[in-house]
Amino acid sequence: MKIFKHIQNPSPLSRKNVVVMLLMYFVFYLLLIPIAMVLVDRLWIPGFLGWTYTEIIFHTIMTLVFLFLGSKLLHESNKHWSIMSIYVPIIAAMVMLWVSIFYGMALNSLTGQGDPVNQNLIYETFKTNKIAIMVQALIFAPIVEEVIFRGVIYRHFKKAGRYLLPLIISTLLFALMHSLNAILDGNWIDLLYLPLYAFMSLILTYTYEQTQNLYSSILLHFINNTISILAMLYAIEHSIT
């Protein structure tokens, strides 16, 4: 597949840098830091997790950390600015939107289930803490997830002419991460959304490959999440549950 063969140069990241970034995301961000925050809430500062700005500060700090760790990837992308860097993610965003709509409608008609668990949890949190969700969805997720899944897992481990394994791993991990809440809740029917998340990951990787610019996949991720935020604002405004 030639569409995944545009990026040929070796990754600018060192092996040490890659290990640190993977540990920071999969161990510290997803596991150790949340556990530490729960302990702080229960043992030292009751209500810490419920404080309006806890999530905002946490995700802002994590975004800055990954911007620093992924600075070489972003610096490399600065060399590949073109008109494609803008119009490819815009077109890709429209494709993602329509596929998401029709896929959701198809699943709803087959299973009777509406939005995935992950989306429902975000929506419920959004009702009470809009700023925190907006920081997470519009700043943290586009930057950090693209640095990790496209810049590290896909880009670093891709070799010239050998892209399939990194593509499969990054796609599956991205899909599983977005179904993590459903898995933890034992809501197995929600795993039917895995193909949709996998499709989104492929489109994000395609955008990165076509433009050779990580900012383009970040822009696509941002546009997609912005549409979701606007949809939630509309649903709240019109009392749609």
213: left (phi over 0), alpha (psi -120 to 50) or beta: beta
Provide, rounded to the nearest whole percent, the portion of the chain with pLDDT above 90.
71
**Domain tally for the chain?**
1
pLDDT tens for 28-55 read 999 999 999 999 999 999 999 889 899 9
* Domain extent at residue 16: 12-237
Asked if the structure places residue 3 within a domain, the reply is no
The amino acid present at 132, given as its one-letter code, is A
Asked if the structure places residue 168 within a domain, the reply is yes
For the chain, report the end-to-end CA distance as a whole number of angstroms: 42
Q: What CA dihedral angle connects 85, 87, 93 and 95, to 10 degrees?
A: -120
Asked if the structure places residue 171 within a domain, the reply is yes
Confidence label for 114 from pLDDT (cuts 50, 70 and 90): low
pLDDT tens for 178-213 read 988 777 777 777 788 999 999 999 999 999 999 999
Confidence label for 176 from pLDDT (cuts 50, 70 and 90): very high
pLDDT tens for 59-91 read 999 999 999 999 999 999 999 999 999 999 999
Sign of CA dihedral 50, 139, 70, 156: positive
Asked if the structure places residue 106 within a domain, the reply is yes
- Comparing CA positions, the residue from 98, 105, 95, 107 lying closest to residue 191 is 107
* pLDDT value for 8: 85
Looking at the predicted structure, is the pLDDT value of residue 108 above 90? no
Asked if the structure places residue 180 within a domain, the reply is yes
* Residue-wise DSSP of 66-101: HHHHTHHHHHHHGGG-STHHHHHHHHHHHHHHHHHH
Asked if the structure places residue 5 within a domain, the reply is no
Asked if the structure places residue 7 within a domain, the reply is no
Asked if the structure places residue 6 within a domain, the reply is no
Residues in contact with 185: Cβ distance below 8 Å, sequence separation at least 6, in sequence order = 117
pLDDT tens for 155-174 read 999 876 688 999 999 999 99
Kindly report the pTM of this predicted structure: 0.94
Q: Specify whether the CB–CB gap between 212 and 202 falls below 8 A.
A: no
